[in-house]
């Protein structure tokens, strides 16, 4: 299972959850189950829910064959609804390890990687309607400009959007190589890999509505956590980390924290660590994916 995905910042995540052996926990990004396995190791009488929208993750949950684990094949934006269904309305801790797994990026036909030619897919949920091919071929030029600029943070987003619209007017862009060919001229010389990685990140975020799902999830957290319960979130790019940081520190995604009549902050969570935890150079050398990880921990007030 380590081939599926090597867990990042494993011990820091487990410490952050402040595990109670008899508690109820949720791993909302089950993936290969690396973090979940360690949570299960520490439980005695407790239980764990594992969410993942990728059907490939289910097999990893089944392989664990642990009656304390309930796997939920759903987007984590539905967390509250499912926990209610399973009569676990309040939990002691929630772990999120955002983004895609190594398995997803290393499976050529999923279309997540710039390294392999494949259909432009990029869906984490193989049953979802929207694919990267639709985004690239059907979105308007201003929408593509917005996505590439905001989610990919590429500096020539307007030019790139125009190039895609021009290329697709000849014939639809169906594959990873079609997309790369359409943008090749606009990728900074010597930095093509980074440029395409940013373009792919932008499309992936749009295809999977990653920021919307994260916001919807975070808004449900205060209702789900017991007082003193822990939220542990690992993000891999600044757009996600900003949402997590603002929600923990201000109780909302934008603007300043609201105050009550006595001047006290109105916010449901309290940061446990002021700064995000990052991987050590040793871990990054072993697992390059850990390079951009930022781990934030909060407690329900
Ligand atoms: C970085 S991997 C998690 C790896 C896992 N911690 C491990 O140790 O194996 C992220 C996983 O979360 C899933 N995922 C991402 N966004 C999701 C969402 N909105 N709802 C459900 N699952 C999601 C992906 O399909 C992927 O399997």
Q: Where in the chain is the domain with CATH 1.10.150.170?
A: 111-208
Between CA 156 and CA 179 the distance in angstroms is 16
- The CATH topology of domain 10-102+210-300 is Rossmann fold (3.40.50)
Task: Return the structure tokens found at 265.
Answer: 């902050």
DSSP labels for 114-132?
A: TTS--BS---SSTT-S--H
Residues of the chain with CATH 3.40.50.150: 10-102+210-300
Strands 24-27 and 47-51: parallel
Give domain 111-208's CATH superfamily.
Answer: Putative methyltransferase TM0872, insert domain (1.10.150.170)
- For residue 290, give Cα distances in angstroms to 6, 139, 169, 281: 9, 33, 40, 9
pLDDT of residue 2: 47
Query: Which DSSP helix (H) or strand (E) runs through 300?
Result: strand 294-300
Averaged pLDDT, 2-25: 94
CA distances to 161, 209, 240, 282 from 206, rounded to whole Å, are 14, 5, 13, 33
Q: How far, in Å, from the CA of 280 to the mean position of ligand 1?
A: 22
Evaluate if residue 1 carries a pLDDT over 80: no
Write out pLDDT tens, residues 72-127: 999 999 999 999 999 999 999 999 999 999 999 999 999 999 999 999 999 999 99
First-last CA distance in the chain:
36
Using most ligand atoms within 8 A of CB, pick from 16, 37, 38, 52 the residue to mutate for ligand 1.
52
* Ligand 1 neighbourhood includes 71 CB (under 6 angstroms): no
State pTM to two decimals. 0.97
Structural tokens at position 176: 């990873």
Q: Is 33 in the pocket of ligand 1 (CB under 6 A)?
A: yes
């Amino acid at each position: 299972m380590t081939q599926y995905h090597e867990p990042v910042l494993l011990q820091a995540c487990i410490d952050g959850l402040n595990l109670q052996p008899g508690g109820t926990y949720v791993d909302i990004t089950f993936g290969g189950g690396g973090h979940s396995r360690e949570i299960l190791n520490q439980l005695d009488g407790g239980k764990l829910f594992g969410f993942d929208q990728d059907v490939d993750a289910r097999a990893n949950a089944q392989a664990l064959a642990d009656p304390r684990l309930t796997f939920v094949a759903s987007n984590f934006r539905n967390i509250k609804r499912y926990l209610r269904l399973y009569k676990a309305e309040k939990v002691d801790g929630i772990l999120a390890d955002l983004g895609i797994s190594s398995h997803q990026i290393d499976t050529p036909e999923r279309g997540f990687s710039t390294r392999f030619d494949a259909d432009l897919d990029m869906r984490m949920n193989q049953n979802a309607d929207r694919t990267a091919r639709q985004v690239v071929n059907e979105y308007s030029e201003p929408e593509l400009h917005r996505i590439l600029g905001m989610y990919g943070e590429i500096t020539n987003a307007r030019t790139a959007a125009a190039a895609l619209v021009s290329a697709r007017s000849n014939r639809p862009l169906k594959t990873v190589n079609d997309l790369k060919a359409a943008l090749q001229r606009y990728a900074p010389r010597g930095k093509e890999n980074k440029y395409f990685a940013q373009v792919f990140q932008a499309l992936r975020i749009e295809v999977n509505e990653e920021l919307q799902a994260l916001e919807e999830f975070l808004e449900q957290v205060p209702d789900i956590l017991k007082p003193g319960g822990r939220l542990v979130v690992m993000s891999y790019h600044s757009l996600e980390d900003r949402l997590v940081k603002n929600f923990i520190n201000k109780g909302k995604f934008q603007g300043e924290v609201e105050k009550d009549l006595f001047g006290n902050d109105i916010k449901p969570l309290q940061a446990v660590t002021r700064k995000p935890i990052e991987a050590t150079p040793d871990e990054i050398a072993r697992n390059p994916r850990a390079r951009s990880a930022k781990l934030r921990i909060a407690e329900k007030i």
